A and B are shown apart, each in its own frame.
Chain A
Amino acid sequence: MYGNDIPEQPGHARLLDEVAAAERDLTGRGLGGDGTEGGADDYFGAVIAADGKIEPRDEMPEAYRKSLIRQIAQHAHSEIIGMQPEGNWISRAPSLKRKAILLAKVQDEAGHGLYLYAAAETLGVDRADLYEMLLDGRQKYSSIFNYPTLTWADVGAIGWLVDGAAIVNQVPLCRCSYGPYARAMIRVCKEESFHQRQGYEILHVLANGSPEQKAMAQDAIDRWWYPSLAMFGPPDTDSTHSAQSMAWKIKRFSNDELRQKFVDMTVQQAEVLGLSLPDPDLRLGEDGHWAYTQPDYDELFTVIKGDGPCNRQRIEHRRAAWEDGAWVREAATAYAKKREGATV
């Protein structure tokens, strides 16, 4: 589907290997970890301790269930809202091949939203209720999608940086303790890696194109770099959900560990692209990791609280689609009822 004339991306293959390893481990084991037996009360603790998987019918602490619902729903909402900034360029994609790839990518995101809502539903919630919580602001989605896509290069930058950051975040989730979420993530990660690759390709072509194209690519990276770093959340010292999520093995690495991993991978890839990251203080340390400037966390909190450039636009768009579609959903329900009546 993609050209072969684009150089390899340093660090990319290793992440996919980690997804494959998580999948092998998952299929190699039965329910409930290593066959750990125990009473209902300590079953959960035993499974977590043995690195097993909690399944929908298993006993689990209410706080674990709630925390997972929050996280999976937020993830699903991010997929759905994330369709908008890229969808903004489908009608104007500059070649038919790029149009097809972008349309397929946005369609994948809708598909990811579907698997994730389905994973959340195994915890006893309803997709319609989660939707309502998204629309009325009770549940969040990734703040990165509250930034606008101003040029075609932004589609490349979203693929390369935003999907790149998402993969770094999500690969460890393939080993998450909740089985349905781990399985959904394995599927999602495999597709995300194509997404990230297409973003990298878009930027590579632009970086090697006309001066205007190269400037467009650099401008997009300048705007998307720090918001992408902020995707990993607040620094470990300020993260409210991290410690408990780590103990439950929902989360496996801290925000700062993941952010560092992303920076290390991305710096090398930027060099291959011949584009620069907008951080004059990037330095390779003796420990092999790149020192970098932290994103503006005040800005992150402003966006999280609803005052980013596109928060209102994104939610209004989603609400309009949902409300405009109400008569269609009602028609489908009414039709199904008539059929039931007819076959009884």
Chain B
Amino acid sequence: MTTVDELLALGDDALIAAQRLAEWTTRAPELEEDVALANIALDLLGQARMLLSYAADLERAGLEGAGRDEDALAYLRGEREFRNAQLTELPRGDFADALVRMLFFAAYQRELYAELAAGPDERLAAIAGKASKEVAYHVDHAIMWTLRLGDGTDESHRRAQAAVDRLWPYTFELFEDRPHLREAWLAAVEPVLAEATLDRPEDGRFRPTGGRKGVHTEHMGYLLAEMQSLHRAHPGASW
């Protein structure tokens, strides 16, 4: 059976990815992209809410008395209690960082949700089934931009390659719990990089890890400080 920690890992990945992506709102290179990025952030936020609500329900079932809800999980946990992979919390970066991160993360989520949708946990399978349709669009969007940036101008190529090199080491952590998914992920990502004329980085020894145990990058504290500030300033309030 699915554990609370597993659901938190899934939900926190989606929540923190949504929080970062939403930072692009009003900052995108064109208006169509403002709409698209906000849309993808909304999808991720919706996934986070379903997953965290499930985690909360599961947690409550093992407790006596009132448990936590999605907001208590999002707003009242400390940094060390978050289970997201570090890839999702890295700073916003430039547009190449955003879209390469989306490619890496959405391609991972696609494999992950396909597996969960066929899994034994019915509630999780339903969430994953719905999310699969969203994530397919995220992958398409990320591929479209990876190709344009990689095979666009010299500058866009340079920036896209830098983003790929910077983010690649963080992709290993995604597969720590499900190593078998990396092969399918590579089969999806490598041809995109090749078509975009981008080099696939070597699998080096720098493989940042710790997110699933609540050990994050220095960036995470600031993200949470911002996200949680208002909620925490009014303990017990409804919104």
Contact = CB atoms under 8 A, between A and B. Distances in A.
A30 interface: no
Main secondary structure, interface of A, reads helix
B153 A330 contact: yes
A333 B156 CA distance: 11
Contact of A96 (B29, B71, B229, B234): B71
A165 interface: no
Main secondary structure, interface of B, reads helix
Nearest to B151: A335
Contacts of A106: 25-26, 38
Nearest to B232: A94
A77 to B, nearest CB: 11
A210 interface: yes
Nearest to A101: B42
B227 interface: yes
Given A317-B26, A332-B152, A100 B238 contact: no
Contacts, number: 138
A80 B31 contact: yes
Nearest to A332: B148
B159 interface: yes
A333 B30 CA distance: 13
Nearest to B38: A107
Contact of A114 (B31, B45, B71, B94): B31
A110 B42 contact: no
B74 interface: yes
Interface residues of B, number: 48
Counting chain A CB atoms within 10 Å of each CB, the highest count among B26, B52, B94 belongs to B26
A103 B19 CA distance: 11
B38 A95 contact: no
Nearest to B42: A103
A13 to B, nearest CB: 26
A95 B231 contact: yes
Contacts of B26: 83-84, 87, 106, 317-318, 321
A210 B153 contact: no
Contacts of A113: 31
Interface string B25-44: 11111111111001101100
B147 A335 contact: yes
A211 to B, nearest CB: 11
B19 to A, nearest CB: 7
A100 B45 contact: yes
Interface string B138-166: 00000000011101110110010000000
Contacts of A321: 26-29
Given A84-B26, A111-B35, A329-B30, A94 B239 contact: yes
Given A83-B34, A212-B234, A334-B152, A96 B48 contact: yes
Contacts of A57: none
A282 interface: no
A331 B156 contact: yes
Interface in A148-170: 152
- Counting from the closest, the 10 A-B pairs by CB-CB distance are A325-B29, A331-B152, A331-B156, A107-B38, A328-B29, A335-B148, A94-B239, A110-B34, A95-B239, A335-B152
Interface of A: 80, 83-84, 87, 90-100, 103-104, 106-107, 110-111, 113-114, 117, 152, 202, 205, 209-210, 212-213, 317-318, 320-322, 324-335, 338
